[in-house]
A and B are shown apart, each in its own frame.
Chain A
Amino acid sequence: MSTLTTRPAEVGAAVGGEPLATRLHRWAVTVDHKRLGIMYVLSGLVFFLVGGIEASIMRAQLARPANDLVSPEVFNQLFTMHGTTMVFLVGMPILLGMGNYLVPLMIGARDMAFPRLNAFGFWLFLFGGLLLYFSYIGAQGLYGTAVAPDVGWFAYAPLTDRTFSRGNSTDYWILGIMVSGFGSIATGLNLVVTILSMRCRGMTLMRMPLLAWMMLIVGLLVLAALGPLTAAQVMLLFDRNLGAHFFDPQEGGSAVLWQHFFWFFGHPEVYILVLPAFGFVSEIIPTFSRKVIFGYPLMVAATVAIGFISLSVWAHHMFAVGMGPALNAFFSAMTFMIAVPTGIKIFNWIGTMWGGRIRFASPMLFATGFVAMFVIGGLTGIMLAMVPFDWQVSDSYFVVGHFHYVLFGGTVFAIFGALHYWYPKAVGRMLDETVAKWSFWLLFAGFNLTFFPMHISGMLGMPRRIYTFQPDRGLELWNVLSSSGVVLQAAGVILIVWNLLRSARKGAVAGNDPWDAWTLEWATTSPPPEHNFDVAPTVGSRRPLWDLKHPEDPDGRYE
């Protein structure tokens, strides 16, 4: 073991003068969790822009009745690719990537548990995403033209059957998602092992930052959810290419079984997408309220409870299928139950802010925006958990409004909050605060303008996934409102991207700890060196940097 070679760290200045090829090579062969995390976030943001453009085209098509901007076939491809992209190529990679970047720093480790597996996971995700988008060029459709998948992001059988989905665009959907799914499994496994095995001295489970707790549960949920998805996709692949009959009702197969399999993955997936957001917010709110998180043990317990309950709520997506009163009642009750730990978290965030000395810097704006929007999404979720109500609005724009409040108002706002919070750590420079505030308010206004009217158009009977609607049904106003909000959102997103790019060169130098925060990542330099910490940290409480700054009144006595 004495063969360990020592070399100086690659700091920004030394790397800056190298030719582009050398720098790209560095990124291609890296196994450093920080570089991989940045690559995850960057590629996720690129896919976010692509998915956002798809959504904008859909809203343009729906801006007025009987519009013919895009054909029905293209519209089907747009909503399929929008949903698939946002869930698999934006949400998962950005969240797992930020976990990748932050978790080792937060628990005082020098890297993830399996750094090479980490790189493998990232490249699988990227190649899987590229394979999915290659369908726009390579896939054969009904008339031999290139088409993207058009079966909806949950690809219900028997629409995916060879008979109804000619060509191989659906196979592209299966394979692209499957390959990037392997990558998610690798990263989820890596997160779980890192959190359990790589904690620094003194970092007991109950002293971990809440983000690490959320990521632990997310990793376990990834392991539990992605296996069944892969299995179901393999069955579908066999159905389409080897003539198997899993989901083929003509030969006795069951289309409903696909729904069960898909949603057994699909609902934990929702919590995979929202638990990291909870984690970001649980880090941001205490820092900007200048208080410790309210009810830490309860937050942990609520996270674990969500992890368990989320595995048994999947069929609330299927109330309209006709499962019978017993199953409907069970899944309805479980769905009500999962609202309890989620509600506990909301109250704990409010309890943290209560009486705090709140600084409304841009991360805090996004975090409070998250709490408010997520509450609305959660409440409509409880409405949808009521079977009779669900029967009325299932597959309508009400549902579209609901889950965008959860996934956009929730997850995406938290992601942007986290980007604004940890950008100085990853880049070493501050974002422009004025631009950040403008982008928040534009996004916030545009988001509500787009998605709130959807609840109303849904109640009025507008079905989701419809490519146009007839005039004089009372839907014009709500749709034109929804479409006009897109302009504000686009402006907000463009400002954020511009801010991210510009501040990397022109932002004020951040220093180690620009927000006066308390978790370990702020102890090291910005950006951190490859090995994270010169001296492996030893912690004595949940807020090691508080202890460092206030040795006369350490936290340990109060935990």
Chain B
Amino acid sequence: MSEPREAPYSRAIPTPTGGPLVTAFGVAMLFAGIVTNIAASVIGAIAFAIGGVWWFREVFPREQLEAIEPTGGQSEVLPPPLPDREAPSKRLVLPVEIHPYRAGVLGGLAGGAAMAAVAAAWGIVKHGSLWLPINLLAGAVNPSMAALGEPELAAFDGGWLAIACLIHLVLSIGTGLLFTVALPMMPRRPMLFGVVVAPVILTALSWSTMGIVNPALEEFISWPWFVASQVAFGAVCGFMVNRFEMVPTMRGTSLAARLRVERSDGGGEPS
């Protein structure tokens, strides 16, 4: 990196040379001789040698360069000076603020509890068993459960309980995290999102895939109750998430500032 960058070196280009052309011709002829005549290879070798020496003398002892006079008519590209204070921007960068992720975790847990309550109510009211909805949820990992009858499904089973709790926790927290990202899309009406939009989307998704994901549940499911449980989740989770203060996404600031390693220099978004 010894080349200076100032003019005229910034406008220096190599002098034209036929060395590479002759060398390449030599290489091609050298190989062409294999399929034609040895004479072609001899010519190729000679051309290769001539071209090689020619090329070598272009770069040794010093690279042959020539500078070109400025031609004008160009835009000079330099970075704009940073504005002293923030000018109002016409550009919208979304999302400017989001809910913190822990809001999603807590909201998901609370919503999950509400949902579990509705599901338990359905089990007890409709089928007289607290364990039925739990076992049905666990059916997601055990498709053969669809073959079991209602008495077996209504009985307590520790293993199924553990699996169902795990599935429920993962799905609840995951959905809660989705809420933190999705809620700012409808900033004015968070509860509309929680109570209407999200349950509709989730119910539609479940309705179309239930036969594949969980055939056991599909057999028993009561869609009005299912929708009720989704609404319960959405309402509680949306309410919880919305209670948290929003934090700026800090787009346009450095990684160090986003990680709070160094203080942001006010480059965050105007709010």
Contacts and interface: CB of A to CB of B under 8 A. Distances in A.
Nearest to B89: A553
A32 B17 CA distance: 10
B24 A537 contact: no
Contact of A111 (B14, B18, B93): B14
B74 A525 contact: yes
Interface in B44-81: 55, 58-59, 62, 65-81
A208 interface: no
A534 B5 CA distance: 12
A512 B75 contact: yes
B32 interface: yes
Contacts of A552: 83, 87
Interface in B26-51: 27-28, 31-32, 34-36
A473 interface: no
A209 to B, nearest CB: 13
B68 A520 contact: no
A123 B25 contact: yes
A482 B89 CA distance: 53
Given A175-B34, A533-B74, A544 B79 contact: yes
A530 B10 contact: no
Q: Name the residue in A11, A122, A557 with the highest tally of chain B Cβ atoms < 10 Å from its Cβ.
A: A557
Contact of B69 (A3, A9, A139): A9
B74 A512 contact: yes
B251 interface: yes
Contacts of B31: 131, 175, 178-179
Contacts of A513: 75
Nearest to B65: A4
A556 B79 contact: yes
Contact of A531 (B16, B68, B89): B68
B28 A128 contact: yes
Interface in B162-202: none
A172 B71 CA distance: 47
**Which among B10, B11, B20 has the greatest number of chain A C-beta atoms within 10 A?**
B20
Interface string B1-28: 0001101111111101111110111011
A161 interface: no
Nearest to B58: A116
Contacts of B87: 552-553
B20 to A, nearest CB: 4
A369 interface: no
Contacts of A254: none
A6 B8 contact: yes
A389 interface: no
A108 B24 contact: no
A250 interface: no
Q: Size band of the B side of the interface?
A: 35 or more
Nearest to A3: B62
Given A123-B21, A127-B25, A529-B71, A115 B14 contact: yes
Nearest to B93: A558
Contacts of B62: 1, 3
A124 B24 contact: yes
Contacts of A124: 24, 27-28
Nearest to A534: B70
Interface stretch (A23-31, A303-311, A404-412): A23-31
B68 A529 contact: yes
B16 A29 contact: yes
B12 A116 contact: no
B7 to A, nearest CB: 8
A172 B35 contact: yes
Nearest to A4: B67
Interface of A: 1, 3-9, 11, 26, 28-32, 108, 110-111, 115-120, 122-124, 127-128, 130-131, 134, 138-139, 168, 171-172, 175, 178-179, 182-183, 201-202, 237, 241, 512-513, 520, 523-525, 529-531, 533-541, 544-545, 547-548, 551-554, 556-559
22 contacts: A4-B67, A29-B17, A31-B13, A31-B17, A108-B77, A110-B10, A115-B14, A124-B24, A524-B74, A524-B75, A525-B73, A533-B11, A533-B74, A534-B11, A537-B77, A537-B78, A538-B77, A545-B75, A547-B79, A548-B75, A553-B90, A558-B251
Interface of B: 4-5, 7-14, 16-21, 23-25, 27-28, 31-32, 34-36, 55, 58-59, 62, 65-83, 87, 89-91, 93, 251-252, 267
Given A128-B28, A539-B77, A553-B87, 8 more contacts: A6-B8, A30-B16, A123-B20, A123-B25, A533-B77, A553-B90, A557-B89, A557-B252
